[in-house]
Amino acid sequence: MSASKTLDAAAAMALMDDSTELYQEIAQAYLQEIAELWPSLDGLLRQAQLSDAMRTLHTFKGLSLTVGANLLSEVCRDCELQCKSLQQGNRTLDDGARASMQQALEGAVAQTQLALLAVLAALDGGVQPKPDAASGSIPDLLADLHGLRALLAGSDMQALDRHAGLVLRYPAQREVLLSLSQAIKIFDFARAVVQCDELIRILTTISR
């Protein structure tokens, strides 16, 4: 999916009278919010609190549209409809469906974070953001993620040091790396490998 389909910042700013300052303020807050989307939602789903889960998804659907994050808004809408169907059928989310929802949401969040951070970087530099804006450090980050993945796949504890160095080297991507960091923090290397694969896939697509 192209960056413009993931994030249409120009259209969102047009609705704010082209105020880059207002957009930056809202986007920065939004980045912090979406970093906690899945952890918050997962707790509600595990407790079968579908009404609260739907409210959360509905809120993030609207917030996403505010900054032009079309992809994440669409995924939130789909997940909200899925929860509504479960509630109407008096059913709960099984483990397989929960894992699929997690993958869809975390993937959309990661793509949105990357696109939004690139736009904010362009705005900070006084450059009008382009739909295909991408971080200049993506090739280096990709190489480091491949190296980290190899250590994680081999259950090599050096992965902890490699990850710590990666976070320090790419401070602007810290929110993008949040899900990966959370998995490594609890020594869930299998999940961390999956997170690495997802980030590598997304970054490779964006850098093309």
What domains can be seen in the chain, in order of their start residue? 3-124 (1.20.120), 138-207 (no CATH)
Q: Name residue 63's amino acid.
A: L
Instruction: Give the residue among 23, 28, 21, 93 at the shortest CA–CA distance from 57.
Output: 93
Q: Provide the whole-model pTM.
A: 0.65
State how far the Cα of 47 lies from the Cα of 53, in Å rounded to an integer.
10
What lies within 8 Å, CB to CB, of 79 at 6+ separation is 57, 101, 104, 105
Please tell me the predicted confidence (pLDDT) of residue 132: 36
Longest dimension (CA), the chain: 52
Tens-place pLDDT, residues 38-85: 888 998 998 989 999 999 999 999 999 999 999 999 999 999 999 999
Q: Which two tokens mark 154?
A: 């081999």
Quote the radius of gyration of the chain (alpha carbons, Å).
Answer: 17
Segment-wise mean pLDDT, segments of 10 residues, the chain, 208 residues = 71 90 90 87 90 94 94 95 92 88 87 83 59 53 91 92 86 76 89 87 67
Phi and psi at 128, nearest 5°, equal -65, 120
